[in-house]
């Protein structure tokens, strides 16, 4: 079809879990390949794609193996986990004929290049997929906050938050069968109804910068492409 994409530049937030598939932890090969091919479909229609990848599938600083650890140390481990995911993503993109660049918020110069904003913008203009690794580079933050921050920095039109649920619901759809999905929702309403879409820091940043967030399901095949083509998918949280 000759339909035009709804966005020119997007920031896709993928949680570490999105690479896990049905496994208990780590990176599932088939899952990462599918994720990357979905991203490829979007680049093919000329949309510039930046990805912020999480690390929860490998390490979560506030839980599990980090119990009793110094919080900042655990968080740095979490950030390093995102670097591993970013390398795996970029490698899978390469294998599928895409060009990816990993940029890290923490200097690991033998492995990945550092995040430099003008360079990221240049790569995006060149049609390369930029994978932002190491979150914000700071402990006590999350990759959701990194997604809001980088999204604002690169002038993304929207933050696409890929989750296991296909949008924002009035209540937890797993617990409440009467829960209904919002098509659209204002930031203010999301706050007053206490709908936990992202962590508070990330959410506040998006709200202040008037950077809309679309929450959609990564489990549904083709959902990313439909979102980018402006089809009704998931929930849009707007200013």
List residues near ligand UDP by CB under 6 A. Answer: 15-17, 54-56, 60-62, 74-75, 78-79, 82, 135-136, 138-139, 141-146
The shares of helix, strand and coil residues in the chain, as percent rounded to the nearest 5, are 35, 20, 45
Can you tell me the distance from the alpha carbon of 173 to that of 180, in angstroms, rounded to the nearest whole number? 8
Q: What minimum distance in Å lies between the beta carbon of 1 and ligand UDP?
A: 33
- 71 with 63: CB under 8 angstroms? no
Nearer to ligand UDP, 79 or 129 (CB): 79
Q: Sheet of 9-14: strands edge to edge?
A: 113-114, 100-104, 129-133, 48-53, 9-14, 158-163, 213-217, 235-238, 184-186
Nearer to ligand UDP, 31 or 136 (CB): 136
Q: What minimum distance in Å lies between the beta carbon of 77 and ligand UDP?
A: 7
**Cβ within 8 Å of residue 195, ≥6 positions away:** 168, 185
Q: What minimum distance in Å lies between the beta carbon of 131 and ligand UDP?
A: 13
Q: What minimum distance in Å lies between the beta carbon of 144 and ligand UDP?
A: 6
Nearer to ligand UDP, 31 or 142 (CB): 142
Nearer to ligand UDP, 14 or 229 (CB): 14
List, in sequence order, every residue forming a beta bridge with 184; answer none if it has no partner: 236
């Amino acid at each position: 079809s000759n339909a035009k994409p709804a966005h020119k530049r997007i920031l896709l937030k993928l949680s570490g879990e999105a690479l896990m598939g049905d496994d208990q932890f780590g990176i599932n090969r088939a899952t990462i390949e599918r994720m990357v091919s979905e991203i490829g479909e979007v680049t093919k229609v000329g949309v510039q794609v930046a990805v912020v990848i999480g690390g929860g599938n490998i390490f979560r600083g506030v839980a599990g193996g980090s119990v009793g650890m110094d919080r900042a140390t655990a968080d740095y481990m979490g950030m390093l986990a995102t670097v591993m995911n970013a390398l795996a993503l970029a490698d899978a993109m390469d294998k599928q004929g895409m060009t990816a660049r990993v940029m890290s918020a923490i200097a690991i110069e033998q492995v990945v290049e550092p995040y430099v904003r003008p360079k990221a913008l240049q790569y995006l203009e060149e049609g390369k997929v930029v994978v932002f690794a190491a979150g914000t580079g700071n402990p006590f933050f999350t990759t959701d906050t990194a997604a809001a921050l980088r999204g604002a920095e690169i002038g993304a039109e929207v933050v696409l938050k890929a989750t296991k649920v296909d949008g924002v619901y009035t209540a937890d759809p797993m617990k409440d069968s009467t829960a209904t999905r919002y098509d659209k929702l204002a930031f203010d309403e999301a706050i007053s109804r206490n709908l936990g879409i992202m962590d508070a820091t990330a959410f506040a940043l998006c709200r202040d910068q008037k950077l809309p967030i679309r929450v959609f399901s990564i489990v549904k095949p083709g959902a990313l492409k439909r979102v980018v083509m402006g089809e009704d998918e998931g929930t849009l949280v707007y200013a």
